[in-house]
Structure 1
Amino acid sequence: MKSKATLLGHPIHPMLIVFPLGLLPVASIFDIIYLSTHNGHWADVSYWLIAAGIIGALIAAVFGFVDWLGIPDGTRAKSIGLIHGVANFIVALLFIVSWFMRRPDPAAPSLLAIVLGWIGIVIAISELAFRPPGDRTTQRLDARVVRGQPC
């Protein structure tokens, strides 16, 4: 399978996943620091990291969905892509709910808002951890740079 959405021959989806992959876990770490220090600055920064992570996740999801539509039906790659998409939809939904719960006072989120984020992190890690080793890379499924395209 070759990625349907590319930029200069490179798949767009893998370029974009780094944003939620970095922003959302850091937000959850900042929530732990907030709980430990009771310094609202950490929670406030977490609020904005979650907002940016959600935006990044939604944009990445569009390109991931385009790629998934290009995978032939009935293949292992299609099944893996479906599980990946559903799991990450749930993760994004948990963070969206957490973000809305924080809106009234971003510097003092409820414990439930923080826990929802951590549940999202656990789901994201589980989705990756429980895949068979050969399924952890897109190259194994032949979703890589289109040959002959500029790097």
Structure 2
Amino acid sequence: MFPLGLLTTSVGFDVLYLITERDSFAFTAAHLVAAGVLMGVVTAATGWLDWFLVTPRGTRARRIGLLHGLVNAVVLVLFAVSWTLRLAETDWTPTWPALVAAWLGVLAGGLGGWLGGELVERLGISVDEGAHPDASSSLAPSRS
């Protein structure tokens, strides 16, 4: 969730920049995009491993997981484009193409986030098999 949070927050700082024209908001947005994309690449690597090694083949979860990964890859590409366009500006001021790429990225991120929630909350992927409302703490010694 951190990459999506960083990327979504960057769009908020873009809006603040458009309202106030304060360069510090543009600077912050650009750096949030960079952090979100870098963290997103790491998150994507672990997600693909989870999909490939853990998610059972031939299941709805496998299909949703693939779509989730592909949508989030598009999100990363859109924000990487936005960051590259910002990098070309000396004061990090976002151009309209950079803003449009980020806004499309945040819309796609909403879909990707919903698909991720579907995987965990509805399909139970990457949820501990012993999870329930009265489960013991994960820090408690295991009872074998």
Aligned to 1:23: 6
Aligned to 1:141: 123
Question: Is the 2:82–2:101 Cα contact (8 Å) retained in structure 1?
Answer: yes
- Superposition deviation, residue 144 in structure 1: 1.0
State the distance in 2 between where 1:89 and 1:149 align. 34
State the distance in 1 between where 2:92 and 2:48 align. 34
- Superposition deviation, residue 150 in structure 1: 4.2
Q: Secondary structure of 2:4's partner?
A: helix
- Superposition deviation, residue 41 in structure 1: 1.0
State the distance in 1 between where 2:57 and 2:118 align. 20
Aligned to 1:42: 25
Give 5+ residue unaligned stretches, structure 2. Answer: 131-135, 140-144
Question: Is the 1:54–1:92 Cα contact (8 Å) retained in structure 2?
Answer: yes
| Percentage of identical aligned residues | 35
State the distance in 1 between where 2:40 and 2:60 align. 24
Give 5+ residue unaligned stretches, structure 1. Answer: 1-17
| Matched letter for residue 71 of structure 2 | A
Q: Secondary structure of 1:73's partner?
A: coil
Higher relative contact order by CA 8 Å / sep ≥ 6: 1 or 2?
A: 1
Aligned alpha-carbon RMSD (Å): 2.1
Normalised by the length of structure 2, the TM-score is 0.81
State the distance in 2 between where 1:72 and 1:116 align. 34
Larger radius of gyration: 2
Question: Is the 2:6–2:36 Cα contact (8 Å) retained in structure 1?
Answer: yes
Normalised by the length of structure 1, the TM-score is 0.77
State the distance in 2 between where 1:93 and 1:35 align. 23
* Number of equivalent positions: 130
Deviates more, 1:98-107 or 1:80-89: 98-107
State the distance in 1 between where 2:62 and 2:8 align. 27
- Superposition deviation, residue 136 in structure 1: 2.2
- Superposition deviation, residue 111 in structure 1: 1.0
Question: Is the 1:72–1:78 Cα contact (8 Å) retained in structure 2?
Answer: yes
Q: Secondary structure of 2:56's partner?
A: coil
